[in-house]
Amino acid sequence: MADQDLVEDGSVAPRGARGGADHAASAAPTRATTHDSPSPSAGAEPTRGAEPSPGLANGPLSRRRVLGTAGATGLALGVAGGAAGYAAGSASSSSSSSSEKVTPLSSLGAGEVRFHVKHQPGITTPLQARGHLVAFDLAAGAGRKEAAALLRRWSDTARRLMAGEPAAQDDTDIALDAGPSSLTVTFGFGHSFFARTGLEKQRPESLDPLPDFSSDQLDRTRSNGDLWVQIGADDALVAFHALRAIQKDAGGAARVRWQMNGFNRSPGATAHPMTARNLMGQVDGTRNPKPTESDFDERIFVPESASPSTSGDPAWMANGSYAVVRRIRMLLDDWEQLSVKEQEGVIGRRKSDGAPLSGGTKATETTAMDLEKTDAQGNLLVPINAHARITRPDQNGGAAMLRRPFSFHDGIDAKGVPDAGLLFVCWQADPLRGFVTVQRKLDRGDALSKFIRHESSGLFAVPGGAAEGEYVGQGLLEG
Ligand SMILES: C=CC1=C(C)c2cc3[nH]c(cc4nc(cc5[nH]c(cc1n2)c(C)c5CCC(=O)O)C(CCC(=O)O)=C4C)c(C)c3C=C
Ligand SMILES: [Fe+2]
């Protein structure tokens, strides 16, 4: 299994059919496990509420009434009148009234991620097929009180939508027929939030603005922001539904500063579990830190015992993380001029399977990279400026980050070239030790640099997950 597979820290509810029955009980489901036994219906979605089921009035299935699934087993489940809430994989669902039968959701629709968890969802959640990143600025006159009310509304909406329920008010029906589809909604605070709300004393030092990098070509209007929301789901309509609900909730309290749309490969699109590919065609994510590694939490999350005197973080950031967000344009016309061999030299890994160039023909993606190995002429097999060499933690004083990107494609620009690339989102306990250290190195020019352009940037403090009955950021806003 590739290192890239992002493992949940308990924030994923049993995924029912998504990973097959054998995987549903796993405490640490991975993207890989969700595909080990793809449901016959995964991807095809032939049945999800499209046709009225026997005993069901001709109307569409209500999201409240659609029950979870045993999809891999192909069981049709009953629904319990109108009273049943959506519950993916709920054991009780099969004992519900059988007078109304519905065809189960595909495994993809049934995937449910919990909202009330230690670390906010959307950090270690496996990559989702669709993503929206949106930054808001508080409206003129809105301060701490309005921000607290907004975070309360947003948290309630996130909890509901992630469980496959409609929004509390004026739901748009966009996701009416779909299950939760592994929706996650993640909230963060930008540097400017704290002055606007009179909370400067609570601003983490780690939120100090990122340094300028010489290669930056940043559009400030698409950078930073008071508040940041990351939405991910395995269904495009479910993701868009969440985006609309979050925007509507903002009401008069905040307005959108910028918004970006991204995507990843759809679950079930490949014959077997694989690390993601980016729009350059590279296997990307291989050497991500793994939750099974002993230092994972320490690298990615602010400690539970956070305090200014110990970790340097305010207590409200306990179990949180810092997200660096960069819109990185790929200069695909230039990249695609290179031969595959040249492309492989830029990264230091094989394009076909991500194996290190030092590994020989038998190497696989997980084979250790040998930085010293040379060919018969004495040339390094992994070039000295290869991206995968330069970014390694052991070349950067241990700097590590969890990369969890979405690809983007915003059409063809005025010059006729694709406006496409990577919505690079990386997570770390300390952005100065993580992103900044590595980006400083890359800024001096790795082989990849001339094929990419950083076009926007953001840094956000993402607090820990909200406890039951609480909202994200409550410790900051009411602390
Ligand atoms: C500052 C951090 C990084 C930026 C910006 C970045 C951009 C970027 N990377 C790729 C493609 C690949 N990156 C790979 C590895 C890799 N990249 C970073 C950091 C940044 N990348 C790290 C820390 C690592 C892992 C290093 C290690 O631990 O060994 C790889 C190799 C496969 C993998 O490990 O994921 C690829 C491919 C692109 C296309 C890109 C900007 C568009
Ligand atoms: Fe990289």
ipTM summary value: 0.99
Task: Tell which atom from ligand 1 comes closest to the C-alpha of 275.
Answer: 35
CA of 398 to the centre of ligand 1 (A): 15
The two most distant CA atoms of the chain are separated, in Å, by 76
Q: Is residue 166 part of a domain?
A: no
Ligand 1 and 343: CB distance under 6 A? no
SS3 label, residue 436: helix
Q: Is residue 103 part of a domain?
A: yes
CA of 123 to the centre of ligand 2 (A): 18
Non-local CB neighbours of 91 within 8 Å, separated by 6+ positions: none
Q: Is residue 387 part of a domain?
A: no
The two three-digit tokens of residue 435, written as one number: 């992103």
From 218, 278, 387, 441, the mutation candidate for ligand 1 (largest count of ligand atoms within 8 A of CB) is: 387
Residue 13 has pLDDT above 80, yes or no: no
CA-closest candidate to residue 158, choices 416, 470, 437, 478: 470
pLDDT bin (cut points 50, 70, 90) of residue 273 is confident
Q: To 5 degrees, how large is the angle CA 313–CA 202–CA 124?
A: 50
Model confidence pLDDT, tens digit, residues 207-229: 999 999 999 999 999 999 999 99
Segments in 378-443 forming alpha helices (H): 387-390, 437-443
Q: From CA 81, how far away is CA 371, in angstroms rounded?
A: 63
Query: What domain range includes position 12?
Result: 1-111
Residue 332 has pLDDT above 60, yes or no: yes
Model confidence pLDDT, tens digit, residues 45-79: 222 222 222 222 223 333 443 433 322 222 222 22
Range 377-389 average pLDDT: 98
CA of 410 to the centre of ligand 2 (A): 21
The closest ligand to the CA of 454 turns out to be: 1
Q: Is residue 8 part of a domain?
A: yes
The closest ligand to the CA of 330 turns out to be: 1
Q: From CA 70, how far away is CA 94, in angstroms rounded?
A: 9
Q: Is residue 407 part of a domain?
A: no
Catalytic residues: 284
Q: Across all residues in the chain, what is the average pLDDT?
A: 83
Ligand 1 and 287: CB distance under 6 A? yes
Ligand 1 and 435: CB distance under 6 A? yes
CA-closest candidate to residue 133, choices 169, 171, 187: 187
Q: Is residue 69 part of a domain?
A: yes
Q: What is the pLDDT of residue 136?
A: 98
Range 128-152 average pLDDT: 98
Is the separation of the CB atoms in 453 and 328 below 8 Å?
yes
Residue with the smallest CA separation from ligand 1 atom 1 is 439
Is the separation of the CB atoms in 124 and 425 below 8 Å?
no
Q: Is residue 318 part of a domain?
A: no
Residue 149 has pLDDT above 70, yes or no: yes
Non-local CB neighbours of 118 within 8 Å, separated by 6+ positions: 9, 10, 11, 319, 464, 465
Q: Of the given ranges (57-66, 132-141, 266-275), which has the lowest mean pLDDT?
A: 57-66
Q: Given CA atoms 459, 461, 464, 465 in this order, what sign does their dihedral have? A: negative
Q: What is the pLDDT of residue 309?
A: 85
Range 396-418 average pLDDT: 96
Residue with the smallest CA separation from ligand 1 atom 10 is 284
Ligand 1 and 280: CB distance under 6 A? yes
From 391, 392, 452, the mutation candidate for ligand 1 (largest count of ligand atoms within 8 A of CB) is: 391
Ligand 1 and 422: CB distance under 6 A? yes
Ligand 1 and 406: CB distance under 6 A? no
Q: Is residue 190 part of a domain?
A: no
Q: Given CA atoms 4, 241, 321, 444 in this order, what sign does their dihedral have? A: positive
Q: From CA 144, how far away is CA 148, in angstroms rounded?
A: 6
Per the structure, how many domains does the chain have? Answer: 1
State the CB neighbour count (10 A cutoff) for residue 294.
Answer: 6
CA of 387 to the centre of ligand 1 (A): 7
Model confidence pLDDT, tens digit, residues 88-98: 333 233 333 44
Q: From CA 155, how far away is CA 35, in angstroms rounded?
A: 30
